[in-house]
Amino acid sequence: MNNEEILQWLLDGDVSIQYQTYRDLLSTERKDLRDKIEQEGWGAQFISKRNPKGHWGKAFYQPKWTSSHYTLIDLRNLCVSTDNQLIKESIDKIAKECKADDGGILPKAKKSDGCINGMFLNYASYFKTEEYHLKSVIDCQLQELMLDGGFNCRLNRSGARHSSLHTTLSVLEGFTEYEYNGYSYRLDEVKKAMQSSKEFILLHQLYISDRTGEIINKDFLRLSYPRRWRYDILSALDYFQYSKTEWDERMQPAVDVLLKKRNKNGTWNIQAKHPGQTHFDMEKAGKPGRWNTLRALRVLKHFEIHVMPSR
């Protein structure tokens, strides 16, 4: 497919893909499409699974991946309208009921989980939750910033000494959404943590050990969607474009891998599906995926590696 055909293929997809294609590849804000995300397609399907108690699945975190937590991160990534009241009510419920003893988010636990805190900050900030609900989560996460600049969800449990790419990316996404939506509590510290966390990922060239030069984990090169809590290079590159990060040569190895994974017709496959219960599958693993194609193309556009045609 040529570029015009790829664009049309994306625009033939779910309304959330249509909206983000116009916004990110064609530089056109389509509020009419965004308003439809909660009314039809994947967005409406997710919302319809909410139970009368205000949760999805059994509760906040179980089962994976049909719980409130993972459904809400899916809805945030679909770009559902931030005015959706049912979603706001569910997030308020989580914020009130699921506080761990350390101030983070996790029900019936003394110590929270950094990945969960980061994802919570991501969707709670996106849906404009009241700041007082976020303060203790910010406090909790800032105190877990590690000496190497990143985060590891095992720090407060097993005494991890090295940051994790999984946790660091989730926290970065949460902190960035927090900043983007105008929250101010400890913002200067949040910004410093974001900068050191970006540097931690770049130090590893997104997937390479800074000590051995070897691939840290081959799964980091498998492009999944939804990624859940797991890290991969496309999700990291997509974060860098979303956060308007300038090009850094240490991104090049990951971009090279991304380009090698492009199909001959210009699309990218969904390469992996993380096992667990789902409400439904948005796309099939092993097949060309609109999610990965959209995300890859907006990365290439942001870094001017490939310019999509205008319409």
What's the pTM value of the predicted model, to 2 decimals? 0.96
Nearest to 294 by CA among 57, 78, 61: 78
Share of the chain above pLDDT 90, in %: 95
Check whether 311 has a pLDDT greater than 50.
no
Distance from C-alpha of 48 to C-alpha of 85, rounded to nearest angstrom: 14
Residues with Cβ within 8 Å of 72's Cβ and at least 6 positions away in sequence, in order, are: 56, 87, 90, 91, 94, 123
Check whether 310 has a pLDDT greater than 50.
no
pLDDT for 221-252, tens place per residue? 999 999 999 999 999 999 999 999 999 999 99
Residues with Cβ within 8 Å of 264's Cβ and at least 6 positions away in sequence, in order, are: none
User: Which residue in the block uniquely carries the two structure tokens 């090049």?
Assistant: 252
pLDDT for 106-160, tens place per residue? 998 899 999 999 999 999 999 999 999 999 999 999 999 999 999 999 998 888 8
Check whether 180 has a pLDDT greater than 70.
yes
Pull the structure tokens for residue 142.
């800032």
User: Domains plus CATH for the chain?
Assistant: 37-203 (1.50.10.20), 206-311 (no CATH)
Nearest to 32 by CA among 45, 13, 50, 19: 19
Check whether 275 has a pLDDT greater than 70.
yes
At 32, is the pLDDT very low, low, confident or very high (cuts 50, 70, 90)? Answer: very high
pLDDT for 257-269, tens place per residue? 999 999 999 999 9
Judge contact between 216 and 165, C-beta under 8 A. Answer: yes
Cα-Cα-Cα-Cα torsion 89, 91, 95, 98, nearest 10 degrees, comes to: 110
The whole-number pLDDT of residue 157 equals 81
pLDDT for 41-100, tens place per residue? 999 999 999 999 999 999 999 999 999 999 999 999 999 999 999 999 999 999 999 999
The whole-number pLDDT of residue 306 equals 65
pLDDT for 209-223, tens place per residue? 999 999 999 999 999
Judge contact between 153 and 208, C-beta under 8 A. Answer: no
